[in-house]
Amino acid sequence: MSELKKIEGKTFLITGGASGLGAGYAQAFLENGAKSVAILDISEDAGKATAKRLNKIFPNKVLFFKCDVGNEESLTQAFNEVVDKFKTVDVIINNAGVMNDSPNMFRKCCDINYKGLVSLTFKGLEHMHKEDGGVGGTIVNISSTAAFGRFPYVPAYSGSKAGVLHFSSCLAVDPFHEVTGVRIISMCIGPTKTPIFNNMDQLSYDERSGKAMAQLLSSLNYQRPESAVSGVVEAFKQGTNGSNWFSVNDKPVKDITLAYNQAQDFLTKALNSDL
């Protein structure tokens, strides 16, 4: 496990890496010694610009691959291109996400946030699985604090992030790591100053809820992007397989695995007692 926690010499694949937190993760891991970074994003101009900027600081270490994470064909093609170029992918950061429950976007939101993440996790597992010739690795799945509470204005988004957390925890159950050599980590990030919160009144499933959400979100305390980025790096350095982490309000990242598992155990016992 100690080898998995090392950043030096590793090849990273980061979805949604053209801007925002994804670009921040790319730079932070390069600063910590990553060998190379593959950025996947639907935004070609921003992706190329970020790769160019990072390559000025870390020469010849970053490549951009255009990819719609919510489209299986596009995701498969991009992943194969990354593997063809780098041969080995050691770390996947499933960061791409959309918060938009509007009538014409909620399906895409779920496709990107959950289905795309699940698909890339499985692709990464197949590539990394030590019994299939892989060398192991780490997959970090980015969830949200919306996965815990009842946030009524974007229920599809919140549900997709709850799905990310539960999917990751289910997949990582022992003896997963022993068999595969792969470590699964979940990161729940609280409100952060990123473009995902732009045009808040248009992100809900109807106009009334959109206005209510905009009013609520305008009163929240947003953490700095740097806090979320450092939290993911720290979770990578410390996290065990199946661990869940929490980053909010510019506070140090917190391991919430015990609390999450206790809640799951409580609910399971309560259910079984009624059977």
Return d(Cα 194, Cα 216) in angstroms, integer: 17
Q: Let me know: does 46 contact 54? Beta carbons within 8 Å.
A: no
Return d(Cα 121, Cα 129) in angstroms, integer: 12
Q: Which residues contact 169 (CB under 8 A, 6 or more apart)?
A: 186, 242, 244, 260, 264
Q: Is 270 helix (H, G, I), strand (E, B) or coil?
A: helix
Q: Let me know: does 96 contact 16? Beta carbons within 8 Å.
A: yes
- Catalytic member of 114, 153, 157, 205: 157
Pick from 263, 28, 39, 269: nearest CA to 165: 263
Pick from 183, 111, 76, 89: nearest CA to 140: 183
Q: How do strand 36-41 and strand 62-66 relate by DSSP bridges?
A: parallel
H/E stretch holding 188 reads strand 182-189
Pick from 37, 85, 41: nearest CA to 65: 41
| Cis amide prior to 152 (ω within 30 degrees) | no
Q: How do strand 182-189 and strand 243-247 relate by DSSP bridges?
A: parallel
Q: Is 170 helix (H, G, I), strand (E, B) or coil?
A: helix
25 belongs to the catalytic site: no
What are the beta bridge partners of residue 144? 189
Return d(Cα 226, Cα 139) in angstroms, integer: 21
| Active-site annotation, residues | 157
